[in-house]
Amino acid sequence: MNRISIIGAGPGGLTCARILQRHGLAVTVYDRDPGRDARNQGGTLDLHADDGQVALREAGLLDEFFRLARPEGQEMREYAITGDLREHHRPEEGELFKPEIDRGQLRDLLLDSLEPGTVRWGHALASTDGRTLRFKDGTATETDLVIGADGAYSRVRPVVSPARPEYTGVSFLEAWFDDVENRHAALSALVGQGGAHAADGDRGLFAQRNSGGHIRVYIIRRSPADVSGLSTDEIRAGLLAEFAHWSPELRRLVAENDGPYVDRPINALPVPHTWTHHPSVTLLGDAAHLMPPLGVGVNLAMLDASDLALALAGSGSIDEGVRTYESIMLPRSAEIAKMLEGRAEDLLS
């Protein structure tokens, strides 16, 4: 029996594992986290009918996804920096093209669908040559296929590619707002049930409704000064000065957050990112094609995962399956990456 190993228990890796198991193939997922609840999984995301939902259908989880998803999260508002509402998309009744779901909810849905013991927690990969997996705790195991689903700074990618993510010149500061109906009622009304965006060409805000009464705000800036070592109050004072010409209502999204700011520089892999075929190593998601966050990341990772699992299930050998997958994935990701190249700047417009 072939030994298939997936590095990374994110949406892409877990989707791949689920579809492989549905087709009777054995797979093990290795993740560096000590457990499934070790850290917050981040904000909300929309799964599109033509990619993320396609993968969930192959995983047999689409109906469960719709039970968890928030169609009302498709609402989108665009504000001028004066606070005036410029555009307002309200989803129609029954609109399900890209409903929202919290990342943590999606991950739990996928984890709970897997056979017990599929995910090996606490296994941070140190290196691999495509046959041996060496973990940071000193252990090692042999495998017949390594699937790098381990994100932007993949430990699997160096086997097939020397490429490393590069800074796009745009960065996010993430701010959290909790119990918004009671503690931030005005901001809750401003954001609505989905997302709200405003920008002036040099900086922007994107506020996003999460489940459980939470809102996350991404403060978008071009090549900002280094904020490491600054206190929350110091960062807040700098942001209030930077957004001084914005309306008081929008400035509250910058300054009234609960807790610290989280710095998230936006990086991307070179375009196009391709590699010479390796018989026992391949990549999916951000490990294969890290792009600016313009709505394709998780959706594309899950579509990659589905295509790879189906190719492996339908091929006579691992090598054949990987070749089939890469013949689909590499041209697709190259085309999308070319479309998005340099467009991190769009987040400021």
Provide the phi-psi class of 275: left if phi over 0, else alpha when psi is between -120 and 50, else beta.
Answer: beta
Q: Residue 220 in contact with residue 170, Cβ under 8 Å? A: yes
Q: How confident is the model at residue 1 (pLDDT cuts 50, 70, 90)?
A: low
pLDDT at 279: 95
Among candidate residues 135, 112, 141, the one with its CA nearest the CA of residue 9? 112
Mean pLDDT, residues 239-248 taken together: 97
Domain with CATH 3.30.9.30 in the chain: 166-267
Phi, psi (degrees; rounded to nearest 5) at 216:
-110, 135
pLDDT tens for 169-228 read 999 999 999 999 999 999 999 999 999 999 999 999 999 999 999 999 999 998 766 788
* Cα 324 to Cα 313: distance, rounded to the nearest angstrom: 11
What pLDDT sits at residue 230? 92
Q: What's the rounded mean pLDDT across residues 286-312?
A: 94
3-state secondary structure of 203: strand
Which pLDDT score, from 0 to 100, does residue 37 have?
A: 87
Q: For position 224, what pLDDT does the model report?
A: 67
What is the pLDDT at residue 38? 80
Token pair 């609505």 is at which residue? 192
CB atoms < 10 A from the CB of 336, how many? Answer: 17
Question: Over the chain, what is the mean pLDDT?
Answer: 95
CB atoms within 10 A of CB 147: 33
Give residue 328's pLDDT: 97
Provide the pLDDT for residue 342.
82
What was the pLDDT predicted at 295? 74
Strand ranges (E), 40-150: 44-46, 76-79, 85-89, 100-102, 119-120, 125-128, 132-135, 140-142, 145-148
Tens digit of each residue's pLDDT (9 = 90 or more) over 256-274: 999 999 999 999 999 999 9
The pLDDT of residue 225 is 65
- Residue range 4-73+102-165+269-343 forms a domain whose CATH class is alpha beta
pTM check: above 0.75:
yes
| Selection from 54, 35, 189, 228 nearest residue 122 by Cα | 35
Q: Are 318 and 311 in contact (CB under 8 A)?
A: no
Helix, strand, coil tally for the chain in percent (to 5): 35, 25, 40
* Closest to 105 measured CA to CA, from 73, 81, 140: 73
Any idea how long the chain is?
349
| Average confidence (pLDDT) over 85-94 | 95
Q: In the beta sheet, which residues pair with residue 85?
A: 79
Q: What is the DSSP letter of 189?
A: H
Give residue 101's identity as a one-letter amino acid code: I
What pLDDT does 293 receive? 85
Outline which parts of the chain fall under CATH 3.50.50.60.
4-73+102-165+269-343
Q: Which CATH class is domain 166-267?
A: alpha beta
Share of the chain above pLDDT 90, in %: 89
